[in-house]
Amino acid sequence: MNALIPRPSREVAPGAWHVPDWLTPAQQRELVTACRAWATGPVPIRHTRLPRGGVMSVQTVCVGWHWTPYRYTRTADDVNGRRVAEFPEWMVRLGRRALLTAYGDEAAAEDYTPDTALINFYDGQARMG
């Protein structure tokens, strides 16, 4: 996309890249639609309870593997005992494309096979750190 003010890709922290306009608006909508579907189940989005009893302000839904503090499982025993949604092949391809775009390393992109996604929802009450 050509912009009046260029927005080049840049490394914002070691290993973390910001790549403006990487996904088209249509692709962004498709991703949001998928995230909303995952948030409804089979394991719905939730506020994770921490080992000391606190509850995270952010809501999370997991795909591929379920995250609870300090471990990953295939079933959400802390929520409803159901198996989490499968990690879709199109997300594997998207991850590979992201890696290639950010780093330009074709071999690393080809070898990359993600198997989980933690999708966070920050409402007006949620905060990081």
Q: Where residue 115 sits, what CATH number does that domain have? A: 2.60.120.590
How is the chain classified by DSSP, letter by letter? ---SS----EEEETTEEE-TT-S-HHHHHHHHHHHHHHTTSSS--EEEEPTTS-EEEEEEEEESSEEETTEEESB-TTTTSPBPBPPPHHHHHHHHHHHHHHH--HHHHHH-----EEEEE--TT----
Domain assignment of residue 86, given as a range: 36-121
Return the pLDDT at 63: 97
pLDDT tens-digit map of 49-84:
999 999 999 999 999 999 999 999 999 999 999 999
pTM: 0.85
Asked, for residue 23, whether it belongs to a domain, the answer is: no
pLDDT tens for each residue of 26-35: 999 999 999 9
